Amino acid sequence: MLAIKTLIPQSIIFRRSIRLMGTQFEIGIVGNNPHWADERIDEAVAEISRVEKLFNTFSDESAINEINRHAGVQPVKINGEIFRLIARALQISQLTDGAFDIIYNTSGKEGNGEHDFNKNAKINGALGRANYQNVVLDAKDQTIFLQEKYMRIGFGAIVGGYAADRAKRILQMNGVQSGVINAGHHLVAWGVQPNDEPWTVAAADPGQKDEPFANLNISNMAITTSINNEKHTAIINNRYPADINTEKGFRVSGIKSVSIVSPSAELANAMATPVMSIGINAGLYLINQLNQLACMIVDDHGRIYTSKDICVAN
């Protein structure tokens, strides 16, 4: 009797690049069926689009705009998903002593005349209180209250990380055992490549983009890289950029880029800005106190600093 050998199609990486949430997403999944892979990627794209719609601020009916409209007026009831993301963001703000903060202030009008915020001490005081410490969350009623009239909530890039995490979750729930999602400056990977090797990333000095300084195993992890762009010196959220000393005008952090490795893109994204802001020594100390987080810092001279869980490849 002849033995018949059934050939199983070899697994490959199916990729799709699409612009979502104002950035370029590349979704790659490992499989051997093009039709199956296309359906799975469609599901991931749908989930990212859902998150974008949920947290958008362009629609007057959006939950985020509803929160901002009622700042200083009354609490706003929100759905559980938004509530939980806000709660996690506020925990990061507490952990970093406000270096990360989804709350910002905005100038406004009262009556028919626009206030001069530099002269009106009362309003300046309110603006100074526009931070995470003056957000009231009620878990029982699932409400949020921004206590000052000029407070606003804006999630920024953290939503992109959250969307990548959600897309990964949807793919896993639908049978995708290995994949990678590249969303601008954050990347999420799980499982292994078709050759059974782990997913790796070559993190590069932003000044020498073609010269990787470390190959990191990021299977089942996420990595976010934040670059200190000295050309952008505008005040954001009532704070100066990390490279500006507001008293003397000199750069104080000496940081060129920060890469954070974490179990989730949301957390990695949230921690990149604080490390950039507080400097090399304080940033490494902070990351070394936290479980399942690691970081690499490149200073202005191209020197590399890593947390205790990373070894640099020479």
pLDDT above 70: residue 13: yes
Instruction: Answer yes or no: is pLDDT of 240 > 90.
Output: no
Residue-averaged pLDDT of the chain: 81
Separation CA 101–CA 271 (nearest Å): 11
In a domain, 105, yes or no: yes
Q: If you average pLDDT over residues 53-58, what whole number do you get?
A: 87
- Of 44-58, 102-116, 210-224, 256-270, where does mean pLDDT reach its minimum? 102-116
| Residue 112, pLDDT above cutoff 80 | no
289: which 2 tokens? Answer: 């106190």
Write out pLDDT tens, residues 165-211: 999 999 999 999 999 999 888 899 999 999 999 998 765 555 555 55
The tokens of 54 are what?
Answer: 């949920």
Residue range 238-255: average pLDDT?
46
With pLDDT > 90 as the criterion, what percentage of the chain qualifies?
Answer: 57
Q: Rounded to whole angstroms, how far apart are CA atoms 27 and 13?
A: 10
Average pLDDT for 123-150: 83
Given a cut of 50, whether residue 235 has pLDDT beyond it is: no
Task: From 153, 172, 195, give the residue that closes a domain.
Answer: 153
Residue 45 lies in a domain: no
Question: Do 273 and 241 have their domain in common?
Answer: yes
Q: In terms of domains, do 173 and 290 share one?
A: yes
Please indicate, yes or no, whether residues 165 and 278 belong to a single structural domain of this protein. yes
What are the angstrom distances between the C-alpha of 128 and each of 36, 92, 227, 248?
A: 53, 20, 27, 22
Asked if residues 239 and 104 have their Cβ atoms less than 8 Å apart, the reply is: no
**Residue 44 falls inside a structural domain:** no
Helix, strand and coil in the chain, % to nearest 5: 30, 30, 40
Query: Are residues 55 and 159 in contact, defined by beta-carbon separation less than 8 angstroms?
Result: yes
Q: Does the residue 26 lie in any domain?
A: no
* Rounded Cα gap, residues 108 and 197, in angstroms: 55
Which two structure tokens, joined as six digits, stand for 91? Answer: 């925990």
Residue 255 near residue 280, CB atoms below 8 Å: yes
Q: Percent of the chain beyond pLDDT 70? A: 76
Q: How far is residue 278's CA from residue 203's CA, in Å, rounded to a whole number?
A: 21
Would you state the pLDDT for residue 211?
Answer: 52
- Domain assignment present for residue 265? The answer is yes
In the chain, the number of structural domains is 2
Whether 180 is covered by a domain: the verdict is yes
Task: Pick 123 or 66 by higher pLDDT.
Answer: 66
Q: Provide the CB-side half-sphere exposure for 134 (13 A, CA).
A: 20
**In this model, does residue 92 exceed pLDDT 50?**
yes
DSSP secondary structure code for residue 239 in this structure: B
Same domain, 217 and 280: yes
Q: Which of 123, 138, 153 is the last residue of a domain?
A: 153
Q: Residue 89 class from Cβ within 10 Å (0-12 exposed, 13-18 middle, 19+ buried)?
A: buried
Tell me, what's the pLDDT at 239?
Answer: 42
Confidence of residue 163 (pLDDT cuts 50, 70, 90): very high
| pLDDT given at position 203 | 58
User: Is 60 exceeded by the pLDDT of residue 314?
Assistant: no
pLDDT attached to residue 117: 38
CATH code of residue 75: 1.10.3980.10
Same domain, 167 and 301: yes
Residues 175 and 290 in one domain: yes
Q: What is the domain-level CATH number for residue 278? A: 3.10.520.10
Cβ atoms of 12 and 31 closer than 8 Å: yes
Whole-number pLDDT of residue 161 = 94
Same structural domain, 166 and 300: yes
Pair (209, 277) in one structural domain: yes
Section 44-70 average pLDDT: 91
Residue 82: is its pLDDT beyond 70? yes
Residue 27, domain member (yes or no): no
What is the pLDDT, as a whole number, of residue 213? 53
At residue 270, the pLDDT reads 93
Establish if 57 belongs to a structural domain. Answer: no
pLDDT value at position 94?
94
Specify which of 9-13, 76-80, 276-280 reaches the highest per-range mean pLDDT.
76-80
Residues 143, 194 within the same domain: no
- The answer on 196 and 90 residing in a single domain is no
Strands of the sheet containing 76-77, edge to edge, are 76-77, 143-146, 135-138
Same domain, 297 and 180: yes
pLDDT tens sequence across 295-311: 999 988 888 899 987 76
Domain boundary among 153, 182, 214: 153
- 176 and 287 fall within a common domain: yes
DSSP class of residue 133 equals G
CA–CA gap between residue 306 and residue 284 (Å, rounded): 7
Range(s) of the domain holding residue 259: 160-306
